[in-house]
Chain A
Amino acid sequence: MHIPDNYLSPATDAVLAVAMVPVWIHSARKVREELDQKQISFVGMAAAFSFLLMMFNVPLPGGTTGHAVGGTLIACLLGPHAACLAVSVALGIQALIFGDGGILAFGANCFNMAFVLPFVGYAVYRLVLGDAPSTPRRAVALFVGAYVGLNVAALVAAIEFGIQPLLFSDAAGQALYCPYPLSVSIPAMCIPHLLVAGVIEGVATVAIYEFVVRVAPDVVIEPESTARKASSLAPVAVLVVILVVATPLGLLAEGTAWGEWGADEIAETGAGYVPAGMENGFEWEALMPDYTLGALPDAVAYVISAIAGVALLVIAFKLFSLAARPRNAYAG
């Protein structure tokens, strides 16, 4: 669902980026209020899960690929505000270092995946969870919340794509940016997410959430009834390592995700022409474009990218946690 550069007009990019600024500020403040040092450190690990989930591309009907995001997972573990920050930082790393998602489109990507996705997902989760959470009910709530969250985000992205030809065309009627109107973009994005990616998101959310709550219940914000004994995060770290090693599986799915084609690919996808905005648009030279590294074999570079991304996220949030209030519950 990462929108590359030049698919949205600069105006669209700017509007969405500006819309995100108050969201980020509010989220940062809420996170500082609600989470303590250990929890903010843990946001880094949760962000790592999201980052890794985004590296597992799965083939979708229609010949494209897609991936889960994990935003609802973080929202249910640590609150939607933490999820907003975590996914934003992950998206930032992906855009700057790996060229995954545009730089100018960063605001739009954050709007979809760091704002709409976790907040909608969390709201649905709480709605379904109700007042008397039991373990099966929570699993259902997690699945539904994650599923709905991802799909609503996909819908919003599809709308952002689809209105481009409407608003930004040249005199000849050719679109300057994304050439596919709503009638194409909405089914193309939403159907695969409804059928496949949403299910993966739901399953991954439930699995990882239950795992974390079982091994490290004291870092999650709810449910409040569980024991608050200080726990080690080692099992979570082990899971992260396993996922990192498994990332090359995400390379098996061939094909580019819908809406993530390069300028060279887009003519063949059915548009018939390369929109002017893409040909002459902004180009960012990422350090490891598309998670490759020079002459290294793709799988190796993919694992190294995963390692680097996870390390950066953990470090970033550990550094943020220095500004937080220290842990209250001193155990033993």
Chain B
Amino acid sequence: MSLVEFSNVCFAYPSSQRLALDGVSFTVDEGEACALVGPNGCGKSTSLRLLVGLDHPSLGEVRFAGELVDASALRDARFTKRLRQRVGLVFQDPDAQLFCPTVAEEVSFGPRQMGLSTEEIERRTDDCLRMFDLERLRDRAPWRLSGGEKRRCATACVVSLAPDLLCLDEPTNGLDDASRAGMVAFLRSFVAAGKTVLVATHDLQLVSELGARTISLAGR
């Protein structure tokens, strides 16, 4: 059974009559690194949104770990929370994702929600800050960070949830060489540990560095 399964998915945003996704089908297996590639506007970000249930397909099915992800499934609060812990989504725009007063609080938000013990929360926060080189920024306000720092922070605060599948929308946008190398190294470790990564990107170098299988979304 694949971890992610898109079957003939069609989707149009309510305000537009144009189809963002037109009969898209693909699977992602556990432990894979996959990349959704295609030109701008071909539906890469949309696919990720459908996977975590922010939007629902007009036609077709989206499945995670065999379970259907649609409006009625998401009415079950427990299912939704479990889904969003297992699938971590890092938005394309990090500004849209950071809402806590400090970086440390941002990273610890997820674990705090999960009701983990204080030591576990601290451990996860410290590990994430270290992995993404944010230790000296832990008490800084997120909106004061530079573009690349924000992106690392946004990724860290999703990783702290310990997801099984990490979805990233253009993860290398705006990163300098050092940060980029770090991001790639992290993603490779993540996959090496048996986890799954799904990136939406038009950075083909990233794709080859990750050794990712490409899934092309045909443009319109």
Contacts and interface: CB of A to CB of B under 8 A. Distances in A.
Asked if chains A and B are in direct contact (CB within 8 A), the reply is yes
B140 to A, nearest CB: 46
Interface in B9-40: 10, 12, 19, 22
Nearest to B19: A330
Interface in A277-332: 326, 328, 330
Contacts of A328: 58-59
Contacts of B12: 326, 330
Contacts of A326: 12, 58
Interface centre among B12, B19, B22, B59 (most CB of A within 10 A): B59
A326 B59 CA distance: 10
Describe A's contact surface by its main secondary structure.
loop
B61 to A, nearest CB: 14
A330 B58 CA distance: 11
Contacts of A330: 10, 12, 19, 22
B70 to A, nearest CB: 13
A330 B16 CA distance: 13
A328 B59 CA distance: 7
B127 to A, nearest CB: 45
Nearest to B14: A326
Contacts of B10: 330
How large, as a class, is the contact surface on chain A? Answer: under 10
A59 B49 CA distance: 64
Contacts of B58: 326, 328
Nearest to A326: B58
A91 to B, nearest CB: 34
How large, as a class, is the contact surface on chain B? Answer: under 10
Nearest to B17: A330
A154 to B, nearest CB: 45
Interface string A257-269: 0000000000000
A328 B10 CA distance: 9
A94 B19 CA distance: 41
Interface in A164-208: none
A330 B10 CA distance: 10
A326 B12 CA distance: 10
Interface string B50-93: 00000000110000000000000000000000000000000000
A330 B17 CA distance: 9
A328 B58 CA distance: 8
A38 to B, nearest CB: 12
B43 to A, nearest CB: 14
B153 to A, nearest CB: 38
Nearest to B59: A328
A326 B10 CA distance: 12
A239 B59 CA distance: 34
A134 B19 CA distance: 37
A330 B19 CA distance: 9
Contacts of B59: 328
A66 to B, nearest CB: 45
A326 B19 CA distance: 13
A219 to B, nearest CB: 18
A179 to B, nearest CB: 57
Nearest to B58: A326
Nearest to B10: A330
Nearest to B18: A330
A122 to B, nearest CB: 29
A328 B19 CA distance: 12
Nearest to A328: B59
Nearest to A325: B58
A228 B19 CA distance: 18
Nearest to A329: B59
B215 to A, nearest CB: 22
A330 B57 CA distance: 14
B9 to A, nearest CB: 13
A32 to B, nearest CB: 15
Contacts of B22: 330
A103 B59 CA distance: 43
A332 to B, nearest CB: 11
A212 to B, nearest CB: 24
B20 to A, nearest CB: 12
A326 B58 CA distance: 8
A4 B32 CA distance: 73
B69 to A, nearest CB: 18
B17 to A, nearest CB: 9
Interface centre among B10, B12, B19, B58 (most CB of A within 10 A): B58
B177 to A, nearest CB: 44
Closest A-B pairs by Cβ, 8 of them: A330-B19, A326-B58, A328-B59, A330-B10, A330-B22, A330-B12, A328-B58, A326-B12
8 contacts: A326-B12, A326-B58, A328-B58, A328-B59, A330-B10, A330-B12, A330-B19, A330-B22
Given A326-B58, A330-B10, A330-B12, 4 more contacts: A326-B12, A328-B58, A328-B59, A330-B19
Interface of A: 326, 328, 330
